């Protein structure tokens, strides 16, 4: 009888722990809800679109075609633009803080006064892009691209107060 009573108590204890674990998981579900509200444009054709002055924090633009698209003054912090094509895109005054820009084409893009603090831009191309006043502080960018950008880096970001040359580590 003691053995059965002991097994029942252990079983009830296990059920209690399981219910407690489920409750704690549901209690911590708020961050997942925030992700559900993010915009997802993966593989979208967004050529010539106007996303100016929009709040696109945590938006996903993975492998999207964004040629000549305007994101002027938009909040793109924590966004994902992996493998996106932003050829001749307007990112003037855009906030790209902590964004993932891996393997992105930003050739001929306007990054005037853009904020790319803590962004990851590995294998990303910035050929002939306008970077006047852009802040790249602590951004991860290939050395070759940094050396090319240092040749034309000038200006001070009006929001962060950091010079483009200093943020890129130009000598």
Q: For the domain with range 38-165, which CATH number is right: 2.160.20.80, 3.50.50.60, 1.10.260.30, 2.60.40.1120?
A: 2.160.20.80
Per-residue pLDDT tens over the stretch 32-74: 434 445 799 999 999 999 999 999 999 999 999 999 999 999 9
Q: What is the rounded distance in angstroms from the CA atom of residue 133 to the CA atom of residue 135?
A: 6
Is the full-model pTM beyond 0.95? Answer: no
What Å distances lie between residue 169 and 37, 98, 114, 139, 166, CA to CA?
36, 18, 17, 11, 5
Q: How many angstroms separate the first and last alpha carbons of the chain? A: 82
Q: How open is the CA angle 68-71-77, to the nearest 5 degrees?
A: 135
The answer to whether 82 touches 103, Cβ cutoff 8 Å, is yes
The answer to whether 64 touches 42, Cβ cutoff 8 Å, is yes
Across-strand partners of 80? 60, 100
Per-residue pLDDT tens over the stretch 70-103: 999 999 999 999 999 999 999 999 999 999 999 9
Among residues 54, 45, 92, the alpha carbon closest in space to that of 76 is found at 54
Domain boundaries, the chain: 38-165
Percent of the chain with pLDDT over 90: 77
Among residues 82, 107, 105, 78, the alpha carbon closest in space to that of 94 is found at 78
User: C-alpha 165: how far from its chain's center?
Assistant: 22
pLDDT, residue 38, reads 75
């Amino acid at each position: 009888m003691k053995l059965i009573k002991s097994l029942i108590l252990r079983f009830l204890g296990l059920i209690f722990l399981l219910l407690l674990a489920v409750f704690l998981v549901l209690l911590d579900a708020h961050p997942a809800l925030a992700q559900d509200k993010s915009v997802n444009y993966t593989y979208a054709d967004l050529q010539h679109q106007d996303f100016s002055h929009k709040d696109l924090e945590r938006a996903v633009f993975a492998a999207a075609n964004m040629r000549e698209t305007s994101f002027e003054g938009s909040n793109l912090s924590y966004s994902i633009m992996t493998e996106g094509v932003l050829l001749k895109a307007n990112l003037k005054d855009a906030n790209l803080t902590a964004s993932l820009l891996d393997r992105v084409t930003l050739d001929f893009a306007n990054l005037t006064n853009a904020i790319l603090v803590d962004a990851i831009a590995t294998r990303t191309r910035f050929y002939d892009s306008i970077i006047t006043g852009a802040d790249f502080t602590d951004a991860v960018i290939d050395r070759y691209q940094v050396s090319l950008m240092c040749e034309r880096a000038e200006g001070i970001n009006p929001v962060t107060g950091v010079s483009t040359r200093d943020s890129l580590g130009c000598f």
